[in-house]
Structure 1
Amino acid sequence: MNDTFKLPAHPVPVEIRRDWPRAEFGIDPIQGAVTEALGMRLASAFQPIFAPDGVTVLGEEALLRASLRRKPLAPPAAFAAARASGLLVAFDRLCRTLHLINFAAYARPQRSLFLNVHPELLPAVDAHGAYFERILDSQGFRPHDVVLELLESDAVAAEPEALQRAVGNFRARGYRIALDDFGHAHANFDRLWAVAPDYVKLDRQLLKLAASDATARRGYRQLASLLRDTGALVLAEGVETAAQRDLALEAGVDGLQGYLLGEPGYRV
């Protein structure tokens, strides 16, 4: 990391030091806190989630930015490399900790951090949850500050009992739950009711289709209404045009996320 400054030792939790004794952390003037693992350079980007007014920021979704030999590497490929090395759980912890370190540097009160949960970690949620809680505490956060995102496709693929057990464990620890990409390919209401999420993020393709088709527009409004009736807050993903924003607001969504309002970016 010749192009970074050293990160002071104290912000890095001891658990991460144990998992990655050779990992080097640093401060990049553009990317903020960065680290290296498995030959990859890792950084955090954040995309804001806005209230319907388009001004108030409700939370931010943390997104992994990985590169290998200075070439961008998609997050699924980065996690696949960790899985192949038998280090998936440790790699997930490292990424979440990096996100927390960066978020802690600028986070404002009342903003939630949305973190993705890798589906293969659901069966290990008991041990993993306790471990991650210590990391949260080391960075000055509580579980209630975090919203854990589960992809709807992963929730559908998971064993129902394992999914309910994992979600119940997360909730017992104080985390909130979001069901991401709802309606991608299909909308599974059985799993929706089983998860009973605090947030449902409507898949971006639904909004794109609704903006170009009157029947889909009515369906989008009806789906948002049905989801809100379950007690969940509904977030519209993929808001890229003013017309899509207006459509989402017309449907009564509780939050907006997309390039029109805020692109993913580094926080320094």
Structure 2
Amino acid sequence: MAFQPIVDVSLERVYAYEALVRGPNGESAQGVLSQVSAENRYAFDQKCRVAAIRGAVAAGILDDDAKLSINFLPNAVYSPIACIQLTLATATATGFPTDRLIFEFTENEQMPDPAHVANIVAAYRKMGFATALDDFGAGHAGLALLAAIQPDIIKLDMALMQGIAASSVKRTIVAHVVRMCAELGIVVIGEGVETVAELDVLRQIGVRYIQGHVFARPGFRSLAPVHWPASTAIAI
């Protein structure tokens, strides 16, 4: 695993680290994910959860109160209760508080049964976990999936972030999504933010949580240190 911080720009602290799958020598996620099939999806999903928790604890995440965001495959979860048991056992064994876990799923994974995903989200919420919809604004669903599932967090797709400083259309779209999510009680994270100009626009719009190279690249088997651009000294 590699770990990339998600930053709270209003408090200038790390809100969470996202665990990103890598090969044993740091190979890209694409090379690993290309080997996932229907036959090994469940085992892969379970191993990723274990590796994320164990890796984050080994890297020092218990030294502060940052959350840990783990990507999971909804199509690999046949039962939310049964499939969470190894995750809970790993958290207990490593001393990681389960109320600091976030589970991310992406709208880029085709979801033939949104009701099944909604059931997972509801079950995780009852168990005290937060859920995040990754890559919002791209993929198979968008607003329809948000209406059906209503996660705790959405992560705006990087395609909306890139070039937002020069695009009034993207700024308008993001501003309306932020207002909508505020009414729904959903946290918004801007991901894939690479420049200070993009960061400044998102802060002006009211996006409090940011993930991207402007703050840190993923750290392989480590919690990447955060670089704080001077512009973040101004509170939202």
Superposition TM-score, scaled by structure 1 size: 0.74
3-state secondary structure, aligned to 1:197: coil
Name the structure 1 match of 2:99. 144
The equivalences for 1:229-268 within 5 A come to 229-266=183-220, 267=222
Name the structure 1 match of 2:45. 92
The answer to whether structure 1 residue 196 and structure 2 residue 145 are counterparts is no
Separation in structure 2 between the aligned mates of residue 186 and residue 245 of structure 1, nearest angstrom: 27
Name the structure 2 match of 1:49. 6
Question: Structure 1: any 5+ residue segments left out of the alignment?
Answer: 1-43
Name the structure 2 match of 1:184. 138
Amino acid at match of 1:60: Y
Deviation at 1:126, TM superposition (A): 2.8
Give the conservation status (yes or no) of the 8 Å contact 1:164–1:194: yes
Separation in structure 1 between the aligned mates of residue 102 and residue 82 of structure 2, nearest angstrom: 18
Deviation at 1:199, TM superposition (A): 1.0
Deviation at 1:194, TM superposition (A): 2.4
Give the conservation status (yes or no) of the 8 Å contact 1:133–1:143: yes
The answer to whether structure 1 residue 110 and structure 2 residue 75 are counterparts is no
3-state secondary structure, aligned to 1:153: coil
The answer to whether structure 1 residue 130 and structure 2 residue 107 are counterparts is no
Give the conservation status (yes or no) of the 8 Å contact 1:79–1:91: no
Name the structure 1 match of 2:23. 66
Deviation at 1:82, TM superposition (A): 4.8
The answer to whether structure 1 residue 213 and structure 2 residue 167 are counterparts is yes
**More strand by percentage:** 1
Deviation at 1:183, TM superposition (A): 0.6
3-state secondary structure, aligned to 2:77: helix
Superposition TM-score, scaled by structure 2 size: 0.84
The answer to whether structure 1 residue 222 and structure 2 residue 179 are counterparts is no
Give the conservation status (yes or no) of the 8 Å contact 1:225–1:251: no
Separation in structure 2 between the aligned mates of residue 247 and residue 186 of structure 1, nearest angstrom: 27
Separation in structure 2 between the aligned mates of residue 260 and residue 71 of structure 1, nearest angstrom: 21
Name the structure 2 match of 1:121. 76
Name the structure 1 match of 2:119. 165
Show CA shifts across 1:228-261 (max 9, x none): 2210111111110011000110110120110011
**Structure 1 stretch 120-129 or stretch 105-114: which is displaced more?**
120-129
Separation in structure 2 between the aligned mates of residue 129 and residue 46 of structure 1, nearest angstrom: 21
Deviation at 1:81, TM superposition (A): 2.8
Separation in structure 2 between the aligned mates of residue 71 and residue 171 of structure 1, nearest angstrom: 33
Show CA shifts across 1:9-51 (max 9, x none): xxxxxxxxxxxxxxxxxxxxxxxxxxxxxxxxxxx21000101
Show CA shifts across 1:175-212 (max 9, x none): 11011110115762232132221111111110114222
Deviation at 1:144, TM superposition (A): 1.4
State the percentage of identical aligned residues.
28
Amino acid at match of 1:45: A
Give the conservation status (yes or no) of the 8 Å contact 1:79–1:88: no
Give the conservation status (yes or no) of the 8 Å contact 2:74–2:117: no
3-state secondary structure, aligned to 1:222: helix
Q: 1:109 to 1:71 in 2, by over 3 A?
A: closer
Aligned-residue CA RMSD (Å): 2.3
Separation in structure 2 between the aligned mates of residue 71 and residue 48 of structure 1, nearest angstrom: 18
**Structure 1 stretch 50-59 or stretch 239-248: which is displaced more?**
50-59
Name the structure 1 match of 2:54. 101
- How many pairs were matched up? 220
Show CA shifts across 1:88-135 (max 9, x none): 322322222222122113013321000001232133433111232112
Q: 1:209 to 1:122 in 2, by over 3 A?
A: farther
